[in-house]
Structures are given as structure tokens and as C-alpha cells.
Chains A and B, each alone.
Chain A
Amino acid sequence: EAGVVQSPRYKIIEKKQPVAFWCNPISGHNTLYWYRQNLGQGPELLIRYENEEAVDDSQLPKDRFSAERLKGVDSTLKIQPAELGDSAVYLCASSLGLAGPTDTQYFGPGTRLTVL
């Protein structure tokens, strides 16, 4: 079974440029998560989708970040414009969405963003 796929794996951009990350979750997984992991820290949730609906985007900096999950499958996370402080690893995860708070989340390898 294929895992969570993310692309690109690495991205280097200059500040004020836009950037987008793509995620393909495990087939059949209804719930999709985007996390940001700063160096030396644990992942922090940015947004969570149940099918196509963003059910929790309270931690998403909406002035520059946006996300979408069309047709309830793939998802894209965008930053425009990027700032130096956005340098981090952006992780996508998915889960079946059937077990509530005991659901197991499966993580992709992440996109490492460097903003110069």
C-alpha cells in the first residue's frame, strides 16, 4: 500500500516569493492534516480536513497561508508571500477518520522549505 506522498521534497526560495506544497493521502483516508515542524521542535498542526471541509484551521496564518482539498483527496498548501520565518519542514498526514481521537495518523516524508 502506498503511503502519503508529498512533493516537492525540498524547496529553496527567496523571501516574498510564493510557494506551494502538494500532498496525496493514503487511498480511502478521509482526514488530512498539514503540520509545520520547526527545527528542533515537534510538528504543529496548521489545518485539518474531513473530506473536503476544513474542520480546524485555527492555527493557519490566514494572511499568507491558504490550503485546499479539492474532491476530498489531494491537497495543496500555499504560502504567499513567504517570509524568512517560514523556513521549516511541512508535513502532510492522513487518517481513516473513523476512530476519532484514537485515529492513527500516517505521515508523509515532508517538504523542507528554506526561505532566503
Chain B
Amino acid sequence: AQSVTQLGSHVSVSEGALVLLRCNYSSSVPPYLFWYVQYPNQGLQLLLKYTSAATLVKGINGFEAEFKKSETSFHLTKPSAHMSDAAEYFCAVSILLNYGGSQGNLIFGKGTKLSVKP
């Protein structure tokens, strides 16, 4: 079975500091991985996705993530945090094996809430 684990339910950084949100995956086959962001009272918005092309994936709003097979990780980073980055971030893995029509379904982590201090 595939799953993701997000380390740290809350992360707080100062404005201008590095943002690092951690995600580890479990998968018996090469995974497809996603990062979504959720602003208060809004739906989820795709930041970036890894689909087995380049291991370093660049997304919107200056975020990027690196797929590391040896560490089973897909951590999200941004060099300099902005106040507008305060939100909840979800890592997700896409189901690859088609049991009962499940191929393509996303399994989400529990999320990491990012706070940005002035």
C-alpha cells in the first residue's frame, strides 16, 4: 500500500527565512507525488508534482521539491518565506495499481500548517 507521512504538524518561520516542509512516502513502485496548498476557507491548490521526469521539481510561488528515492522523501522548500505563504500544505501520493478503480486516487498526508512571523 502507498502512503505519505508529513513530519511536523506545525512549522513556524520568520519572513525571509528558508521554508522546509517534510514529506516521506511509502510505495512498492515508483511513486507519483504531489504538494498542495490550502489557504483558510479555500480548497486545495496544486503547488507542484513529481511524475518521474526531473527529480527537482519547480512549482508556483517559488516553491520546489526534490524527489530522493534513497531517502523516500519529497520535501518542499522555498528559499525565502513571505507572509502570504502562511497556509496548510499537504503532500500526496497517487495510487498506481488499479484495484477496484483506484488508480489515480490521491492519498494525502495529515498536513503541515506553516506560520510566517514578521
A69 to B3, CA, bound (A): 29
Q: How many residues of B contact A (CB 8 A)?
A: 27
Which of B9, B104, B105, B110 has the most CB atoms of chain A within a 10 A radius of its CB?
B104
The answer to whether B42 touches A101, judged by C-beta atoms less than 8 angstroms apart, is no
Out of B9, B44, B90, B100, name the residue touching A56 (CB < 8 Å).
B100
> At the interface with chain A, which of B11-19, B45-53, B67-75, B78-86?
B45-53
Instruction: List the B side residues contacting A44 at CB < 8 Å.
Output: 108
The answer to whether A40 touches B110, judged by C-beta atoms less than 8 angstroms apart, is yes
Q: How many residues of A contact B (CB 8 A)?
A: 29
Instruction: List the B side residues contacting A21 at CB < 8 Å.
Output: none
A69 to B9, CA, bound (A): 35
Give me 28 A-to-B residue pairs in the complex whose CB atoms sit less than 8 angstroms apart, sorted by A's number.
Answer: A3-B43, A40-B9, A40-B110, A40-B111, A41-B111, A42-B92, A42-B111, A45-B105, A48-B101, A48-B104, A55-B101, A56-B100, A56-B101, A56-B102, A56-B105, A58-B100, A91-B44, A93-B43, A93-B44, A95-B104, A101-B94, A101-B96, A101-B103, A102-B94, A105-B44, A107-B45, A109-B41, A110-B43
